[in-house]
Chain A
Amino acid sequence: MLPSNSKVLAQKVKKCLLTLAHHHNASHVGGALSIADVLSVLYSRILKYDTSHPKWEERDRLLYSKGHACTALYAVLKEVGFYTDAALQTFTQNGSLFTSHVNHKVAGVELSTGSLGHALSVACGMALAGKRKKTDWHVYTIVSDGELNEGSNWEAILFAPHHELNNMTLIVDFNKIQSFGTIKEVLDLDPLKDKFNSFGWDTIEIDGHNHSEIYEALRKDTIHGSKPRVVIAHTVKGKGVDFMENQLAWHYKSPNKEQLESAIGQINQQK
């Protein structure tokens, strides 16, 4: 059963990931908040999946390459019903499947990630297999912006158009901040759109927090031609919580009790 309202889902996801980060002293909450809206639109209005059959052959594939920001993915998978809240609350404990980088042993997860720059190549392989088998599932991959420093991504970015993989969509969570500095300071990506265009991708730029823009950009029925598609989602690291927004520190910090309460209060206000 798909949750029909992406806004409602996003609100739940943000609260769930903030709470997880607080209870388990987890990092990477800024990068989780920046992608929560995209994930919520995907899981409410775009992806084909069956929570009771996570490996259903006809499902769309979502590869989450920024595995450090696992709380957002774990939260959305829980909210749509892949597993219970009780299961998720074992997060990072000894023996738990919910490790603090995304784990393929969790229902609904396609690939373990955490070492950056791996998933896009795997997505190319999945999309290639999809083409050869003439299936109609679509492969979505989410990468973070700092992650695009990794050369492995650019090998995959060359590969996909060469093989006309129009059954895949790459989403860049362009929140402009990485671990210990801004993208501008560490390794500039600009002009990112031109780079993708020149590599042969269909390139769309959107506000990564505007649900109708996200939906329009990610729909499968608007794909024409043979190019793979990239959606550059302009986002805000720490989106929705004023003291986290655009703050480098919230790449690593986890909220204490007061900060959690304030954050949840702010998310509750957002419609």
Chain B
Amino acid sequence: MKLQEITVTGKKATRDGFGDGLAAVGQTNSKVVALCADLVGSLKMDAFIKAFPQRFVQVGIAEANMMGIAAGLATAGKIPYTGTFANFSTGRVYDQIRQSIAYSHKNVKICASHAGLTLGEDGATHQILEDIGLMKMLPGMTVINPCDYAQTKAATIAIAEHYGPVYLRFGRPSWPIFTTNLPFEIGKALPLTTGSDVTILATGHLVWNALEAAKRLGLEGISCEVINIHTIKPLDTATILDSVSKTRCVVTAEEHQRNGGLGDSVAQLLSRKMPTPMEYVAVNDSFGESGDPMELLDKYGLGVKDVVIAVQNVLKRKKSPVLV
């Protein structure tokens, strides 16, 4: 696909995609139940609750309890979707997830909103940038970070049919929608543009920044292959290796710490199978802060221009691989 063929069909938050997806999957799969820790409005769960009041559990501000209850419901054949903010879905309840959900491979869907810096004004306590790492380290956990409203909706529906624990990560701000007419399959990377000079592997909100960067770089005659890695685990290694064998250099982009994120997974793959010059667009060992979401992305090195710079740097290294 060419860059010009990416069509924007509107703007909405990825969390709206979760809310709409949850209501939709509630209709088609009667085993789906939802739990929330006093954040139904923030997670956009109202439509599901209205349609299926008997299949919703308000557990209160008690996330650890929520994970245990979800595990228990799963033993009876239900497909529980838990809803709270990303930091309270992961770090706060890590041992509950590890012991009661992941170890016994329970069919619980951990749905996490307000991930990353774009949460904005709520600041560092809420801006988790470690959750992908935490969750992908758990054996058997599937980790999905969709890039827009449409993909989040599709993922919310798809995970019901995928047996096993899933971490679904999405966010707060309104964001361009550009995958409305594109397929979504768990574990299958989605190539967005074909290019020959560099592979950009992006996840979540940063997919949009990667596309914008590719546009700018195109004006300089640099041809970017942008691939959307919505499923960070299991990683679509075949698609990545295919692209990299052609472009011979990679940039990864994510709204997460460099440590433990998508970039780490890619580096692990490439170091073993195809050592390749690589640059990261990610937060570098720092907490976030309060501020305007877009300004924060720039300040922490996740803006469009940062993707552009990373591509320029990796291209230099491709030409002369000696590190300076």
Contact = CB atoms under 8 A, between A and B. Distances in A.
Q: Do A and B bind each other?
A: yes
A150 B42 CA distance: 19
Contact of B126 (A92, A114, A180, A181): A114
Contact of A100 (B38, B58, B123, B296): B123
Nearest to B85: A115
A259 interface: no
A245 interface: no
B123 A99 contact: yes
A96 to B, nearest CB: 6
A67 B123 CA distance: 11
Given A116-B61, A150-B61, A180-B41, A95 B289 contact: yes
Nearest to B125: A114
B60 A149 contact: yes
Given A94-B292, A95-B289, A113 B61 contact: no
A266 interface: no
B205 to A, nearest CB: 18
A114 B123 contact: yes
Given A92-B290, A115-B88, A100 B122 contact: yes
B185 interface: no
A225 interface: no
Interface string B287-319: 001111001100100000000000000000000
B39 A179 contact: yes
Given A94-B296, A178-B61, A115 B291 contact: no
Main secondary structure of the interface of A (DSSP, over half): loop
B59 interface: yes
A186 interface: yes
Contact of B291 (A94, A180, A181): A94
B92 interface: yes
A30 interface: no
Contacts of B125: 67, 99, 101, 112-115
B65 A146 contact: no
Main secondary structure of the interface of B (DSSP, over half): loop
B285 interface: no
Interface residues of A, number: 34
Interface residues of B, number: 30
Contacts of B296: 94
A113 B124 CA distance: 10
B38 A149 contact: yes
Contacts of B64: 150-152
Interface string A58-93: 000000000100000000000000000000000011
A95 B37 CA distance: 31
Interface in B142-196: none
A179 B39 CA distance: 7
A44 interface: no
A153 to B, nearest CB: 10
A117 to B, nearest CB: 7
Given A94-B289, A178-B38, A117 B61 contact: yes
Given A94-B296, A114-B123, A115-B126, A149 B291 contact: no
A128 B274 CA distance: 55
A180 B62 contact: no
A92 B291 contact: yes
A146 B60 contact: yes
A111 B96 CA distance: 25
A181 B241 CA distance: 50
Nearest to B45: A180
B197 to A, nearest CB: 34
A181 B121 CA distance: 23
A110 interface: no
B40 interface: yes
Q: Most B CB atoms within 10 A — which of A113, A114, A180, A181?
A: A180
Contacts of B290: 92-94, 96, 98-100
A26 B121 CA distance: 9
A8 interface: no
A115 B92 contact: yes
Nearest to A103: B123
Interface string A200-231: 00000000000000000000000000000000
A98 B41 CA distance: 26
Contacts of A150: 61-64
Nearest to A96: B290
A264 B122 CA distance: 25
B87 interface: yes
Contacts of A129: none
Given A101-B126, A187-B62, 19 more contacts: A24-B121, A94-B289, A94-B290, A94-B292, A94-B299, A95-B291, A96-B289, A99-B289, A100-B123, A115-B92, A147-B61, A149-B37, A150-B62, A152-B64, A179-B42, A179-B61, A180-B41, A181-B38, A186-B60
Interface of A: 24-26, 67, 92-96, 98-101, 103, 112-117, 146-147, 149-152, 178-181, 185-187, 252
14 contacts: A92-B123, A92-B291, A93-B290, A99-B124, A103-B123, A114-B126, A116-B61, A117-B61, A147-B61, A149-B37, A149-B61, A150-B62, A180-B38, A186-B60
Give the 9 A-B residue pairs with the shortest CB-CB distance, closest first.
A187-B60, A114-B125, A99-B123, A149-B60, A94-B291, A99-B290, A149-B61, A92-B290, A149-B62
